[in-house]
Structure 1
Amino acid sequence: MAIVWAEKALLEDGWAEDVTISIADDGRIAAIETGQPAEGHRTGILLPSPVNCHSHAFQRAMAGLTEKRGPDASDSFWTWRQLMFRFLDRLTPDHVEAIAAFVQMEMLEAGYSTNVEFHYLHHQPGGVPYDNIAEMAGRIAAASTRSGIGLTLLPVHYQYGGLDKRPLGPGQIRFGNTLDEYARLHQSSAEIIARLPADCAIGVAPHSLRAVAPQDLAHHASLAGGNPLHMHLAEQIAEVEEVQATLGRRPVEFVLDNMELDNRHCFIHCTQMRPHETEGLARSGAVAGLCPITESSLGDGIFDGVRWLENGGSIAIGSDSNIRISLSEELRTLDYSQRLRDHSRAALASSDKSTGRRLFDAINAGGASVSARDTGAIAVGKLADLMALDAQSVDLAGRSGDTLLDCFVFAGDDRMVSDVWSAGRHMVSQGRHIRREAIVQNYVRTMKDLREAI
């Protein structure tokens, strides 16, 4: 039984002081007591550690390398996408494992306990499957055993180059599987996850309406069963126009009419929605998987968070391209985008919760549901997914209650994060991952190997 003590802790029923958390050997919270003397591992401000709901780990190796304008003056998401395709053609399984471990380490150091990996790089260059069709999925899983992060693996089905069912282009060929091949991939991936710690999970991910046959979505739902189903949706104007021209409806309209939605469904980005789509999808119970730093980097647009939350919508937060892995910055970017659009302040606060508290509660609840993870709050029986902020941080000095979260989101950064536990595994101590040196060295070797490719 591990013991964690905190000066202040945000429990399921609110803030408490002098809190002792007992963590059982199975990684779950066995007991919580308040008003206790300090014992065990002592921390300052203890919070539930949220899920990172959307990541493409391999793209971390491209961070900072796509900021030059291409030959087309109208550089955009689509030109970035072409560079990404050229880069990934050089990646080997060893590269992917090293990059994924580094990404997961950075997630933990930022305060996340869980990596939901939207994994679509499956095959060899040229599209030939590895002898084990789930070789690359196995490398993501192997990385998680090194980083200690909780893993929800989403093998991605990516079959077509567009809604006209054109073949995948050279840059996409490593992603491609028929529906039957995808079922084999998913089964093999599930077997890999079954060998990991019990807090890890499997889900299903049809990449987008452009990349799978719309009539196959029922098959994906059946394959998912009670597990999460994630899909990119309404990210780019060109995507929306293609869907509307082919299916006669905009992407959000199509899924509302054709899918039975609940809080296991996570639609990523949703930056190109009209008011009626925002309201309808929010009320469906589905979760919006938001990645504000990446959405800003790629010029995707601004998610209508104000309208979404006003209609009871749920959200989760992710790092997507991993150009910058920072929990506080994702939340700050989300809220500031609303303020810039609407010329407002504290856009996502409510009458009873400050901005930081409302966002933090929302992403913990939404992240838990779309990761199939028994987390989201500090409560007896839940997984011990915990993050601690350093109470000695200058911007937290003298603060209390929800103001602590506001200071973390709007005045702070990752340097405030002192400790992180994932299902009771104490992976970050004094702000550093316990295996940082070895993981970083392996990543640096990988980047040297890839230098010519990028």
Structure 2
Amino acid sequence: MLGAKRLILESALLPDGWRESVLVEIDASGDIVSVTPDAKLSDGESPGGHAVPGMPNLHSHAFQRVMAGLAESGSSGSDFWSWREVMYRFANQIAPEDLESVAAQVYVEMLRSGYTAVGEFHYLHHQPDGSPYDDSARMSVSVLRTAARVGIGITHLPVLYVRAGFDNPTPRSEQRRFVNTLESWQAIVQGSSRVCEELPNARVGTAFHSLRAVPPDLLQEAIKTFDSSAPRHIHVSEQVGEVEACMEAMGVRPVAWLLNEIGIDRSWCLIHATHADGQEIKELAGSGAVVGLCPTTEANLADGVFSFDAFSMAGGRFGIGSDSNISVGPVAELQCLEYGQRVVTGRRVRGRGDTTGPRHVGADLWRGALAGGAQALGRPIGSISPGCRADIVLLDGDHPSLTARCGDALIDGWIFAAGENPVRHVMVGGDWVIRDGHHRLETEIAERYREVITRLG
């Protein structure tokens, strides 16, 4: 970022609600230093439109963008497990340079849609034969440097992946690129951390693929090796088959095991938790952890529907992720989340335990996903307030679904009625990365992506 900035926002969603004529002062490092509503005329840039905090995308597998839409054929009864076979085929073709091209494309798509930060759940570590690169963190470095070049914030989450399943300690040949020992995984995390020290909008956390892929004793050992306040992510209870296999092997449901044996707290993000039962939902809500929901991917894979209303009523925290990147945008995730709950419950507007009056469903979802996403990524984001990164999305007030609306009705219109994207400008860490709907590198990035997907497809 070059120098400090002063923005005059026509209207902005602040922690205490919508305010007008908001002066936002940003320092040279990209942090917000002051926010002044109802500001008198002042020198500064006036980008126009309505400002909302940029949305964190707490769960992405960037490389899976190359197979989006290519797993939609097959025999009757196809499910997550058949989809996984297609994923393996693509995963074992991708070189570091290919990953950079694919990640750049999907990260530009994220920025255009209103995401300003991503949690990259990264398990594509090694060469196709399973041998490490000369720099064991090479694939991670490719992701981190691509995020910096494109301009999206990132929490990089190198994944520990050890075995094929609860009853199978030997990884399949298709999983060789994913598999590490505890020591080799630690080296990748450390290598990623060194790169992050050079980048303004990046940090590293840790991730564990799942209880089926990481033995319980190794998971307990692994979580002791890094800062306990850093983000920790894990897939859990995504499929019924996983829950059943866990109960057979360990005598307990997966979420319950994590709660009882690991001591889940605010540093944790449990991805999916689709098939958590009522008791697990209650205890998970009380733990302070975030549940990472990926509704478009979960629907695409026929995973099931998370018990969102029960979790929400118990005070649970949630965020959203694009996961397999079949759909890239917060609106699609929040819309799918809400409509899924309406289908299940038969009700359109449902209240939380702290709801005392009429509510704007879309705006409530946006606020909830902001807070949970920021917590899960472990960065000062998700709010237009002093001390946070200047990650700001400007919506076009002349968009047909936003015109003549104000306040929370703007977000409702965006999520539930805007067929065309109303995102006009996007700022990350004080830098404009999207102007008038375009990224400065989008043409170059799209050309390279087309070359890669043509070759791999």
Deviations, residues 191-238 of structure 1 (Å, cap 9, x unaligned): 1222222x3110010110000111122223223421000000100011
Q: Do 2:115 and 2:329's aligned partners in 1 also have CA atoms closer than 8 Å?
A: no
Task: Name the SS for the 2:421 alignment partner.
Answer: helix
Query: 1:114 is aligned with what amino acid?
Result: A
Are 2:221 and 1:219 equivalent residues in the alignment? yes
Match of 2:455 among 423, 431, 449: 449
**Equivalent-residue separation in structure 2 for 1:217 and 1:403 (angstroms):** 45
**Cα contact 1:100–1:143 (8 A) shared by 2:** yes
Between the aligned partners of 2:329 and 2:147, the Cα distance in structure 1 is: 19
Question: Structure 1: which amino acid aligns with 2:383?
Answer: A
Amino acid at match of 1:441: E
Partner of 2:173: 170
- State the match for 2:88 in structure 1: 85
Tell me if the contact between 2:111 and 2:434 (Cα under 8 Å) persists in the aligned partners: yes
Tell me the residue number matched to 1:308: 311
Residue 380 of structure 1 aligns with an amino acid whose one-letter code is P
Q: Who is 2:98 aligned against?
A: 95
Per-residue CA deviations over 1:253-287 (Å, capped at 9, x if unaligned) read 11111112222100001111211111111111110
- Partner in structure 1 of residue 385 of structure 2: 379
Deviation per CA, 1:107-128, whole angstroms, max 9, x where unpaired? 1111011011000000111111
Stretch moving more, 405-414 or 309-318 = 405-414
1:411-449 deviation digits (Å, cap 9, x = unpaired):
125611111111112101111122211111111121122
1:423 has 2:425 as partner: no
Structure 1 partner of 2:204: 202
> Does structure 1 retain, via aligned residues, the 8 Å contact 2:285–2:317?
yes
Distance 2:113 2:350 in 1: 24
In the alignment, structure 1 residue 66 sits paired with structure 2 residue 66:
no
Distance 1:11 1:257 in 2: 37
- Of 225-234 and 39-48, more deviation after overlay is shown by 39-48
| Residue matched to 1:295 | 298
Q: In structure 1, the residue corresponding to 2:368 is in which secondary structure?
A: helix
Aligned to 2:287: 284
AA partner of residue 408 (structure 1): W
Alignment-derived partner of residue 106 in structure 1: 109
- Select between 178-187 and 155-164 the one with higher mean Cα deviation: 178-187
Aligned length: 448
Matching of residues 360-371 of structure 1 within 5 Å:
360-371=366-377
Give the counterpart of 2:438 among 428, 432, 435: 432
For residue 175 of structure 1, give the secondary structure of its aligned residue in structure 2: coil
User: What's the offset of the Cα at 1:165?
Assistant: 4.2
Residue among 244, 247, 253 paired with 2:247: 244
Structure 2 letter corresponding to 1:175: F
Preserved CA contact (<8 Å) 2:342 2:348: yes
Distance (whole Å) between structure 2 residues aligned to residue 221 and residue 211 of structure 1? 15
Q: Deviations over 1:304-357 (max 9, x none)?
A: 110001011000110000011021111010011000001110236644442112
Distance (Å, rounded) in 1 between the aligned partners of 2:419 and 2:183: 45
> 1:336 is matched with which residue?
339
| Cα distance in 2 for residues equivalent to 1:43 and 1:4 | 10
RMSD between superposed Cα atoms in Å: 1.4
* Segment drifting more, 50-59 vs 32-41: 32-41
1:388 to 385, 394, 406: 394
The within-5 A match list for 1:258-277 is: 258-277=261-280
Q: Which amino acid aligns with 1:56?
A: H
- The one of 133, 150, 153 aligned to 1:150: 153
The equivalences for 1:129-144 within 5 A come to 129-144=132-147
Q: In the TM superposition, what whole-angstrom CA distance separates every residue of 1:50-102 from its partner, at most 9, and x where no partner exists?
A: 210000000001011111124xx211110010111011111111100110111
Question: What is the SS of the residue equivalent to 1:171?
Answer: helix
Measured in 2, the distance between the counterparts of 1:229 and 1:195 equals 22
**Residue 24 of structure 2: aligned partner:** 21
Number of the residue aligned with 2:350 = 347
- Residue 220 of structure 1 aligns with an amino acid whose one-letter code is A
The CA distance in 2 between the partners of 1:180 and 1:64, in whole Å, is: 36
Contact 1:335–1:347 at 8 Å: present in 2 too? Answer: no
With structure 1 as the length reference, what TM-score do the two structures score? 0.96
Distance across 2 between alignment mates of 1:318 and 1:220: 25
What code does the residue aligned with 1:51 have?
A: P
CA distance in 1, matches of 2:59, 2:250: 27
Letter in 2 for 1:67: E
The residue aligned with 1:47 is 52
Residues 158 and 151 of structure 1: is their aligned pair in 2 closer, same or farther, counting only changes over 3 Å?
Answer: same
Contact kept? 1:110, 1:414, Cα under 8 Å: no
Residue segments in structure 2 that go unaligned for 5+ positions in a row: none
What amino acid sits opposite 1:43 in the alignment? G
The answer as to whether partners of 1:329 and 1:413 remain within 8 angstroms in 2 is no
What TM-score do the two structures reach when normalised by structure 2?
A: 0.95
SS at match of 2:406: coil
User: Aligned with 1:31: secondary structure?
Assistant: strand
Residue identity opposite 1:321 in structure 2: S
